[in-house]
């Protein structure tokens, strides 16, 4: 395809905001997204479904309406149902449906790929009916399907409450919220929300809906095991200390047919790593994240980061980061004067600093326990794609494995369809503990083309397969 001045990958709040700012100044833009509709996971809603019954307190429909009203559809080439699977020589490599691999050159690239649910392995986590919070939300909003008839949500943080409220509004029976964080975390977050009243009102509205439904809230508790024959039928729940160590004698069981896990988010940073962007390991996310400056520019002159793909800090932060990246790319491309760029970006950076301070307090209120992986037993699956157990990983560590690539070669972890997305966070943390608190030199699997699975037919006869095809 022909070259674009600016390509934006991801049409969530960050990608939409970047496109809005750049299009206002006449930049030639292509916006690429895997989904059939704009908005990303946060703002998604199937147009074929009856709209969800949002309350007056909920911010999401207002954010979506504002961004879509501002989005200049006629000025942006929107490539939907398109998967970007590689980056090379100032071009993205993508496929649409069953088509052959396409190569689209760019002058500037903004990566806003979003994030995915942080995996939390424990005995029974691979049973049918045990799904992530993001999967439950996607089922509801894209297909109108509830995950079960007797639903328990488990994990940490604000996502559990938001998901519970949405499932209840759609007619779901959420019997319990199992929260690993002490109740003091909520009081800390509540005090912080007084500086952002729209978030506070949204939270109060969610809790009112949950309390009216009769959902039980169980703080300082963790699901330690899921049981069932063909699907999850029962879960074991224990009280835990601040580092998530189960307290002996506190275990109880609950009958369920759906368990939704929400322990946080992992940035989808594979494209950054494949492109050669510098980055660092962030223990609070259990993930590698790209490094970027105050204008969202990475160490590569032509690539910017924005949104949850840079660091999972929520839609408000993502939108402002997208606007900053879009404006900076526009200025670098010669479509915006330096004075106007400096003024606009300066105002946005002030707002961004305040939002990040709020997010820092909220995130610290619901932090991951340091003993979160202590639940794994020798026969627990840690790599569900290749069915590798914790015992096999432990043996490889005892035999001298010092990094993820060695573990991969010795045990096949990370070789499955998910390409390590489900096992990498836990494996790096296990390596960290095995190395007595040192972080492994290789903090993540080496990225390979394609970064997402693609049909073999797309590679056959393609003349633009990319120089990484032999990897």
At residue 24, does pLDDT exceed 90? yes
Q: Which of 257-271, 358-372, 442-456 has the lowest mean pLDDT?
A: 442-456
**Torsion sign (Cα): 365, 370, 373, 374:** negative
Please give the average per-residue pLDDT across 142-171, as a whole number.
93
Please give the average per-residue pLDDT across 373-399, as a whole number.
93
- Give me the pLDDT at residue 436, please: 82
DSSP string, 69-99: HH--GGGEEEE-SEEEEEEETTEEEEEETTP
Q: Which of 135-144, 269-278, 457-466 has the lowest mean pLDDT?
A: 457-466
Please give the average per-residue pLDDT across 405-428, as a whole number.
92
- Give me the pLDDT at residue 326, please: 98
Residue 244 to residue 255: CA distance in whole angstroms: 22
Residue 38 to residue 69: CA distance in whole angstroms: 12
At residue 408, does pLDDT exceed 80? yes
Centroid of chain to Cα 67: 20
At residue 446, does pLDDT exceed 50? yes
At residue 45, does pLDDT exceed 80? no
Query: Cβ atoms within 10 A of the Cβ of 302, count?
Result: 16
Query: What band does 465 get if pLDDT is binned at 50, 70 and 90?
Result: very low
Reduced to 3 states (helix: H, G, I; strand: E, B; else coil), residue 290 is strand
Write phi, then psi, for 42 (nearest 5 degrees).
Answer: -65, -40
Contact 205, 55 (CB under 8 A): yes
What DSSP character marks residue 12?
S
Instruction: Give the residues across from 73 on adjacent strands.
Output: none
Domains parsed from the chain with CATH numbers: 4-117+266-336 (3.50.50.60), 130-263 (3.50.50.60), 376-434 (no CATH)
- Give me the pLDDT at residue 129, please: 97
At residue 49, does pLDDT exceed 80? no
Beta strand residue intervals within 324-465, DSSP E: 381-383, 388-389
Supply 443's token pair.
């903090």
- Give me the pLDDT at residue 61, please: 76
Strands 91-96 and 102-111: antiparallel
Contact 132, 154 (CB under 8 A): no
Q: Which of 51-55, 201-205, 214-218, 347-351 has the lowest mean pLDDT?
A: 51-55
Residue 326 to residue 71: CA distance in whole angstroms: 13
Percent of the chain exceeding pLDDT 70 equals: 93
pTM of the entire predicted model: 0.92
Centroid of chain to Cα 100: 28
139: Cβ contacts below 8 Å, ≥ 6 apart: 131, 145, 146, 147
At residue 81, does pLDDT exceed 70? yes
Reduced to 3 states (helix: H, G, I; strand: E, B; else coil), residue 178 is strand
Higher pLDDT, 471 or 292: 292
At residue 85, does pLDDT exceed 70? yes
Query: How would you class 124 by CB atoms within 10 Å of its CB: exposed for 0-12, middle for 13-18, buried for 19 or more?
Result: buried
What DSSP character marks residue 119?
P
Supply 433's token pair.
């503990």
Contact 87, 467 (CB under 8 A): no
Query: Cβ atoms within 10 A of the Cβ of 104, count?
Result: 20
Contact 348, 43 (CB under 8 A): no
Residue 369 to residue 347: CA distance in whole angstroms: 36
Query: What band does 433 get if pLDDT is binned at 50, 70 and 90?
Result: confident
Please give the average per-residue pLDDT across 55-72, as a whole number.
80
At residue 58, does pLDDT exceed 90? no
Query: What band does 304 get if pLDDT is binned at 50, 70 and 90?
Result: very high
At residue 8, does pLDDT exceed 90? yes
- Give me the pLDDT at residue 468, please: 44
Higher pLDDT, 187 or 458: 187
At residue 157, does pLDDT exceed 70? yes
For the stretch 169-217, pLDDT in tens is 999 999 999 999 998 888 888 888 877 888 888 888 899 999 999 999 9
Query: What band does 302 get if pLDDT is binned at 50, 70 and 90?
Result: very high
Higher pLDDT, 457 or 21: 21
Higher pLDDT, 416 or 442: 416
Q: In 277-365, which residue ranges form alpha helices assigned H by DSSP?
A: 315-332, 338-365
Average pLDDT, the chain: 89
End-to-end CA distance of the chain: 24
Please give the average per-residue pLDDT across 51-66, as a whole number.
69
110: Cβ contacts below 8 Å, ≥ 6 apart: 6, 7, 8, 9, 15, 18, 296, 303, 304, 305, 306, 322, 325, 326, 329
Q: In 247-337, which residue ranges form alpha helices assigned H by DSSP?
A: 270-275, 315-332
Query: What band does 46 get if pLDDT is binned at 50, 70 and 90?
Result: low
For the stretch 107-128, pLDDT in tens is 999 999 999 999 999 999 999 9
């Amino acid at each position: 395809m022909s070259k674009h001045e600016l390509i934006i990958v991801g049409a969530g709040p960050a990608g939409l905001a970047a496109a809005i700012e750049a299009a206002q100044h006449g930049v030639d833009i292509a916006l690429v997204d895997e989904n059939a509709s704009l908005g990303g996971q946060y703002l998604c809603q199937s147009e074929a479904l009856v709209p969800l019954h949002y309350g007056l307190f909920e911010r999401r429909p207002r954010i979506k309406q504002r961004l879509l009203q501002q989005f200049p559809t006629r000025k942006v080439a929107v490539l939907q149902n398109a998967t970007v699977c590689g980056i090379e020589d100032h071009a993205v490599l993508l496929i649409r449906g069953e088509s052959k691999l396409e190569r689209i050159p760019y002058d500037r690239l903004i990566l806003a790929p979003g994030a995915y649910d942080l995996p939390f392995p424990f005995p029974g986590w691979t049973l049918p009916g045990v799904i992530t919070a993001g999967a439950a939300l996607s089922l509801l909003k894209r297909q109108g399907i509830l995950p079960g008839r007797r639903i328990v949500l488990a994990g940490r943080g604000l996502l559990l409450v938001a998901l519970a409220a949405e499932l209840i509004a759609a007619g779901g029976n959420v019997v319990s919220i199992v929260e690993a964080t002490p109740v003091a975390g909520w009081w800390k977050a509540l005090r912080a929300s007084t500086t952002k009243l729209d978030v506070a009102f949204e939270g109060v509205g969610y809790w009112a809906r949950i309390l009216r439904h009769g959902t039980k809230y169980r703080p300082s508790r963790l699901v330690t095991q899921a049981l069932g024959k063909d699907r999850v039928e029962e879960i074991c729940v224990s009280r835990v200390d601040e580092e998530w160590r189960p307290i002996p004698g506190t275990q109880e069981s609950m009958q369920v047919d759906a368990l939704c896990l929400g322990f946080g988010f992992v940035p989808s940073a594979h494209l950054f790593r494949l492109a050669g962007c510098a980055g660092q390991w962030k223990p609070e996310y259990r993930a590698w994240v790209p490094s970027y400056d105050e204008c969202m520019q990475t160490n590569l002159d032509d690539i910017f980061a924005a949104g949850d793909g840079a660091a999972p800090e929520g839609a408000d932060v993502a939108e402002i980061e997208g606007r900053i990246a879009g404006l900076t790319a526009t200025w670098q491309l010669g479509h915006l004067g330096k004075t106007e760029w400096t003024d606009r970006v300066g105002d946005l950076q002030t707002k961004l600093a305040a939002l990040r301070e709020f997010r820092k307090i909220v995130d610290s209120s619901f932090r991951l326990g340091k003993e979160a992986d202590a639940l794994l037993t020798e026969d627990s699956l840690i790599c569900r794609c290749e069915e590798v157990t914790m015992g096999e990983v432990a043996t490889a560590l005892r035999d001298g494995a010092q990094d993820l690539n060695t573990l991969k070669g010795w045990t096949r972890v990370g070789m499955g369809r998910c390409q390590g997305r489900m096992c990498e966070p836990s494996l790096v943390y296990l390596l960290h503990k095995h190395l007595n608190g040192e972080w492994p030199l290789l903090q993540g699997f080496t990225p390979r083309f394609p970064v997402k699975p693609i049909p073999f037919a797309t590679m056959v006869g393609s003349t633009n397969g990319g120089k990484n095809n032999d990897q």
